[in-house]
Structures are given as structure tokens and as C-alpha cells.
Amino acid sequence: MIDSLKKSDEHELEQLVNDAQILFDEADDVPLQVREYEKKLGIYLISPSSYLADPKRIQVAKTNLQSFGFKVKVDKCATEKYLRFAGTDIQRAKSFTRAIKESKAPIIMPTRGGYGLTRILPLIDWKLLAENPRTYCGYSDFTAFNLALLAKTGLPSFTGPNAVSDFGSDKLDELTTEIFVEMMRGELEILSFVSEESDSVDETGVLWGGNLALLTALLGTPYFPKIKKGILFLEDVSEHPYRVERLLIQLHQAGVLKTQKAIILGDVSDYQLVDNDNGFSMISVIEWLHKTVKVPVVTGLPYGHGEVRVTLPIGKKVGLATEDGMAHLVIDKHNHSKDDSDHHTNCLKLEKYKRKNK
């Protein structure tokens, strides 16, 4: 297994995958816990997209994040309201500048998604961001920023929870929380998930992607990263399968899909099939991918607008392998002993999150 990786790495990565399988089999018996950390990491919260329907939830998110070992500072315009946006275009674009100036907050996170980031991409000071690297993490509309950052500066970022959307509720998803914390602290080596209907894959490449509609909206602009031989992951919400297929057709006809080593599908959720579909579903879309694009497709990634939202790097080289109904994303490799608890494997027992779009 893992033949495409360097020979010197084969044994180590095979061991990681084997360990992942063992942990996966035992996952139901192990309660999930977020470790306590003495060292606090600073997070700066901004609102670059839609306004917050309930601004009070920012305090809930702040309290929850603090309980997971973060120091939280909220941007002065985070609760602004202008039309459907969290402030004017200029206010929202300058929130990135204000975040950079907050030296004690290496992590920058949006409060929520929605709409608005594509409007402000030309107003963001990309040179300032390139000269002052930070750790960015968010999803949904934040996909536009993740990809623009990669295209304009070459810097990686993360797609994962949004502050209020994920940490501002009274009940948090434990897996989403645990994986986010581990990823922000550089502790996660390999992410394994159920993927029973996937193609056989054994590749390495730059991981990139996010929300399909946002990614496709950047096509043909200076904010679309030119990634070849990469591993593309996608999700979407409230888009009927035929619209999902139409977006994929656009990417295919633009020459994007055929240059990838693999396509990983996350959650495609919150849509309604109708009688006129006559059997057309997400299965049909996947069949079209296989027939037309001829790139290996991996399904089951717990990422998107579903119940669980893993944190993933964008713009970083990873390994991807499928085996025995599971997929393994090798996020990071470290030379360490089995007793080293700072870097480990997180395996997701997610039968209840399998594709509901059949």
C-alpha cells in the first residue's frame, strides 16, 4: 500500500494506516474528550460575510472556545449590519488588516458564512497577508478566502468550523470540536473515515477545495488557484443534484477536474428530490463523474454543512489511500515513538453519516 509515496516513508505510513484501522474498530468504546492545554492559542473573530442574526451568540462562542484552550478577541465590526452583510465591503475587508495587527492572535476565524466574501476579495490587502502569515480557519462562504489566499500568496489555510455557527450553540458536536482543536495545535497525523463505495486510491498531492458553488464562482478570476495533480474535495448545501452536476460540468469543461489525482466528496445536503427527477440523484452525479472525468472518486468525507465538520488543510500536500471500506487522509507525518501523544490518529466511526442521497 501507499506505493506512490517515497520508499523511505512506506513503512511509517503503512503503520499509521494500520493503527488507524485498529483505532477505528475500537472507536465506539472510547469516549471523545478535548484535552486541557496549559498554553492558550489566540483566536481573532471576524465577520467577513453575512451579518449575525443573533449577535449574543458571539459571547457563547467565545466562552466555548476559551474552554478549549483559546484566548478569544472579537473584531470591533463583528456585529455590524449593512444590508445582508456584517458591515460595508470596506469594513469587512479591513477586518483582515485589523486581525493581522493583533499579534497575540495567530488564528483568524469567521463568525459565520452566508454571502459576501467574493465582493471584498479585491479590497483585501494580500501583500500584508503574505508578509504576515496567520492560521485561517472557516468554511462555507469562507471558501472564497481560502482559495484566494492560496492563489494570491501561496499560503495554506484551513477549512473547518466557523465560530458562531459551530461554537455558538448550546450543544456542540464533539468530533467537530476535537478535530478542530487538534488541527490548530498540529497534533493530527491521519484522518480516517468510512468510505465503502470509493474507488481505489493511493496518491499524494496538494489538498484543496471547499464549497463547490464558491469554488466554481472563482473560476476565471485571479482568485482561483491553479492546482494540478492535486486532491480536490467538495461539498455543497441546498443545491439539487442536477445543479451540483452542472457545477462539476463547468469545472470539467474548464479542464480543472481531469488534472486532479482524486476527487473527494463531502456532504451534499438540504435539497429535495422531485418527481421530475425520474430517478436522478447524487448517485447519478457520481456515475457521471466516473464515466466522463475518469478520476478516482472517494465518498463519505464528513465535511460540509452536515452534522460533523472535520478541519482540513487547504494548499498542503497530503496522502490519500483507500482500503477495506475506509479512506485515510495522511495530514502530517512525524518521526516519533508510539508513546508520543502530541501527534496521533483520529478515526471517525460514522456509519450514521453515510450518504443519504442515494
Say how far apart CA 29 and CA 144 lie, in whole Å: 39
Question: Would you call 337 a catalytic residue per the annotation?
Answer: no
Q: Which residues are CB-neighbours of 147 under 8 A, at least 6 positions away?
A: 208, 210, 214, 215, 218, 223, 224, 225, 314
Pick the catalytic residue from 47, 50, 95, 140: 140
Cα 298 to the center of its chain, rounded Å: 15
The C-alpha atoms of residue 76 and residue 91 are separated, in whole angstroms, by: 10
Residue from 202, 167, 170, 196 nearest 181 by CA: 167
Q: Tell me which residue has cell 450553540.
A: 169
Instruction: Tell how far CA 311 is from the center of its chain.
Output: 5
| Catalytic residue of the set 182, 235, 239, 323 | 235
Exposure class string for 162-198: b at 16+ Cβ within 10 A, else e: bbbbbbbeeebbebbbbbbbbbbeebbbbbbbbbeeb
328 catalytic? Reply is no
11 is catalytic: no
Q: For residues 76 and 80, what is the distance between their CA atoms, to the nearest angstrom?
A: 8
Amino acid at 7: K
Contact between 268 and 235 (Cβ < 8 Å): yes
Alpha-carbon separation of residue 172 from 112, 294, 307 (angstroms)? 15, 39, 10
Catalytic residue from among 187, 189, 203, 305:
305
Asked whether the CA dihedral 251, 235, 293, 314 is positive or negative, the reply is: positive
* Catalytically active residues, by annotation: 140, 235, 305
